[in-house]
Amino acid sequence: MAKRKRKNSALKGRLLVVLMGVCSVAVLALVLHLCYHAKSNKDQWIKGKEKEFYLNDYNDAHLRAAKKHGIEPIRSREEVNSGAINGLEKISDCDLYAVDELTHSVPYLTHNAKLLLERIGQDFQDSLAARGARKYKVIVTSCLRTLDDVESLTKVNQNASPQSAHCYATTFDLAHARYIDLPSDGKPISYAEMKKVLGNVLKELRKRRWCYALIEERQSCYHITSRR
């Protein structure tokens, strides 16, 4: 009787080991299945957003570049308007870009950030011309922000960061849902298509380490910081 009990116990032990092994294999298979589909879904998501738009340099990257290449943050607009701040260049409407009515920033950038803006404007128009499209120019919607501007903006805009790269004059926003139509020959092109063209321009400049870029859908703009 005792021998039979020991035999049954041993058999149960072996069955338990087999069951544990089967469960382990099943769990591993499930994990691999989920990982595969997670990657697949991620790839589909990127394709859905279109890879040329996949500009996701977040605030920490922009801040590092801004602190390295920009000015010291300025407290008030009075200091900017006094002309006492070195390293600032004013921007205004030209053939390559338009400056929007700025409510929480002032139209100033560092020299290299201004050159980047001009490069983007030129490359955008060249890309449109290569497609046989009409001529348009981009719209600057935000530039240098004083510390007072940032404090005011964070009260009304949930996307605004109290640690803003805009404070260093290296950073500007370009609208991706509207553009200025210029008199020219060529076929009409939709704003959605121009968004793609501008996204590709930024992607190329980003690859060449001219800038960091982030697409902001809620604000309908590209957020761009000079890396020079």
Query: What pLDDT is attached to residue 45?
Result: 35
Q: What's the confidence (pLDDT) of residue 94?
A: 98
Inter-residue contact 109 to 169 (CB < 8 Å): yes
Mean pLDDT of 57-62: 94
Q: What local confidence, expressed as pLDDT, does residue 28 receive?
A: 53
Check residue 180 and give its pLDDT: 97
How many residues in the chain? 228
Among the ranges 9-23, 29-43, 214-228, which has the highest mean pLDDT value?
A: 214-228
pLDDT of residue 10: 57
Apex CA 183: angle with CA 179 and CA 188, to 5°? 60
Would you say 173 and 141 are in contact if contact means Cβ atoms under 8 Å apart?
Answer: yes
Q: Please say whether the beta carbons of 169 and 221 come within 8 A.
A: no
The average confidence (pLDDT) of the chain is 84
pLDDT bucket at 31, cuts 50 / 70 / 90: very low
Please determine, for residue 108, whether its predicted confidence score (pLDDT) is greater than 60.
yes
Average confidence (pLDDT) over 156-184: 89
Q: What is the pLDDT confidence band of residue 15, given thresholds at 50, 70 and 90?
A: low
Taking residues 199-209, what's their average pLDDT? Answer: 97
> Is residue 140 scored above 60 in pLDDT?
yes
Distance in angstroms (rounded) separating the CA atoms of residues 38 and 31: 10
- At 84, the pLDDT band (50, 70, 90 cuts) reads confident
The whole model's pTM is what? 0.76
The residue-averaged pLDDT of 59-77 equals 96
Domain boundaries along the sequence of the chain: 1-49, 53-226
Does the pLDDT of residue 14 top 60, yes or no?
A: yes
Average pLDDT estimate for 99-117: 97
pLDDT of 47 above 80: no
